[in-house]
């Protein structure tokens, strides 16, 4: 395919792949750990994925991989290049468990940005662990592909209609490749619609909290938000609900851990009664709540969590956020958060079916992103 997905200035050389080796002290005295990282710079051109495969194959053969850690991390800096090669490189990152990062001062655009989405810590079933990060001040930008008028297919067209037909065929093929690729890389479907629905000279950057969340990218060097707890709770609930999550801090009720335990157990009891789920649990809960024994309530709350009932871990104050709706039904969010660690919170949603877990999850490794409003500009140094 002769399409190019690239920056506005066409690159002239292929990517350069360098391996950086450093030695760090190990846990055992006199033992050292050798860490190898990749630095990938320059434009993407045909053949780059083959070169990268050889590099990664050699790296894998000489590396003892620690469970839960990627084979290596690739630091990316490129203006873009060939669309297909960007896909190939991204698939290689997934195949070899290569995490990706764009450092402060670097830019990773178009084909490079697509390759970046392949960042993976582990692809071992049943759960793929993503590994893509942007250091605050790094630039990652996407734009729609465009036809390369210098492609061999364009030059071989015998007439304008034939050239249009060939271009349409290539564009359709590229769109299909994009859809398959981003779905495989666990990117939310709206990304595809935005990319294919805009002119090729319009860019989308990873700059707002919402863009980091949607693309499951973790920021490096991000300061915790300084908003009051009610605002943090609202942001967490809005992000956990996703589309339609638009409450405000004016619709927040604060509860102590003791109040939250009793209230949430009451909701479990009401759900059992509403659905006529009679049995020992329903009766025991009713007797427990009537006795008002706080220590017993705490013990039962903990036991039900262990048994799999969706009750949040209580880390401090708990906030009830209202103002949501699913169809004709009201939806509430109950979030307990630690004021000492912005990455520590737990929540449940309360709706017509009882208590359920969040509809949306934060990127692995950086749950604190949910404490920001989706429109917060957390990477403001992005160049427009």
Mean pLDDT is lowest, of 106-120, 269-283, 303-317, for 269-283
Query: Cβ distance 228 to 207 under 8 Å?
Result: no
**Burial of residue 24 (number of CB atoms within 10 Å: 0-12, 13-18, 19+):** exposed
In this prediction, residue 4 carries a pLDDT of 40
Chain-centroid distance of CA 92 in Å reads: 19
Query: Cβ distance 167 to 156 under 8 Å?
Result: no
Percent of the chain's residues with pLDDT above 90? 52
Domain boundaries, the chain: 4-206, 229-361
Per-residue b or e along 155-175, where b marks 16 or more CB atoms closer than 10 Å to that residue's CB? eeeeeeeebeebbeebbeebe
pLDDT score of 254 more than 80: yes
Mean pLDDT is lowest, of 2-6, 150-154, 321-325, 377-381, for 2-6
Q: What is the pLDDT of residues 229-251, one digit of tens each?
A: 999 999 999 999 986 668 887 88
- Report helix, strand or coil for 269: helix
What are the E-state strand segments in the chain?
4-6, 16-25, 32-41, 72-77, 80-82, 98-102, 107-109, 120-122, 129-130, 132-135, 139-142, 204-205, 218-220, 252-255, 318-326, 329-337, 345-351, 354-356
Chain-centroid distance of CA 305 in Å reads: 26
Give CATH for domain 4-206.
Answer: 3.90.226.10
Q: What is the pLDDT of residues 354-376, one digit of tens each?
A: 899 998 899 989 999 999 999 99
Q: What is the pLDDT of residues 84-141, one digit of tens each?
A: 999 999 999 999 999 999 999 999 999 999 999 999 999 988 889 999 999 999 999 9
CB neighbourhood size of 346 (10 A): 20
């Amino acid at each position: 395919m002769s399409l190019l997905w690239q920056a506005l200035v066409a690159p002239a050389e292929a990517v350069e792949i360098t391996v950086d080796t450093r030695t760090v002290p190990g846990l055992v005295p006199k033992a050292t750990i050798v860490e190898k990282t990749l630095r990938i710079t320059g434009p993407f051109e045909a053949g780059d994925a083959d070169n990268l495969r050889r590099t990664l194959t050699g790296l894998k053969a000489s590396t003892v991989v620690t469970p839960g850690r990627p084979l290596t991390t690739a630091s990316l800096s490129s203006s873009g290049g060939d669309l297909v090669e960007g896909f190939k490189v991204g698939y290689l990152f997934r195949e070899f468990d290569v995490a990706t990062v764009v450092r402060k001062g670097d830019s990773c655009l178009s084909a490079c940005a697509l390759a970046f989405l392949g960042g993976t810590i582990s692809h071992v079933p049943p759960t793929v662990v993503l590994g893509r990060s942007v250091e605050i001040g790094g630039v990652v930008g996407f734009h729609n592909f465009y036809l390369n008028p210098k492609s061999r297919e364009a030059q071989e067209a015998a007439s304008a209609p034939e050239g249009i037909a060939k271009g349409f065929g290539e564009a359709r093929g590229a769109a299909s490749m994009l859809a398959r690729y981003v779905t495989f890389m666990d990117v939310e479907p709206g990304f595809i619609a935005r990319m294919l629905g805009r002119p090729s000279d319009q860019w989308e950057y990873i700059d707002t909290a919402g863009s980091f969340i949607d693309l499951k990218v973790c920021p490096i060097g991000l300061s915790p938000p300084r908003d009051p707890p009610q605002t943090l709770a609202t942001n967490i609930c809005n992000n956990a609900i996703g589309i339609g999550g638009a409450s405000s801090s004016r619709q927040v009720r604060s509860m102590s851990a003791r109040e939250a335990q009793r209230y949430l157990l009451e909701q479990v009891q009401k759900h059992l009664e509403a659905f006529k789920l009679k049995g020992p649990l329903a009766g025991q809960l009713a007797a427990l709540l009537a006795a008002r024994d706080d220590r017993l309530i705490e013990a039962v709350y903990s036991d039900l969590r262990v048994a799999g009932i969706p009750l949040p871990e209580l880390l401090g104050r708990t906030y009830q956020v209202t103002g949501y709706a699913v169809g004709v039904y009201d939806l509430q969010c109950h979030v307990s958060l630690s004021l000492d660690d912005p990455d520590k919170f737990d929540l449940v949603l309360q709706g017509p079916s009882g208590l359920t877990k969040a509809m949306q999850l934060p990127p692995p490794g950086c749950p604190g992103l949910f404490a920001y409003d989706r429109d917060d500009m957390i990477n403001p140094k992005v160049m427009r």
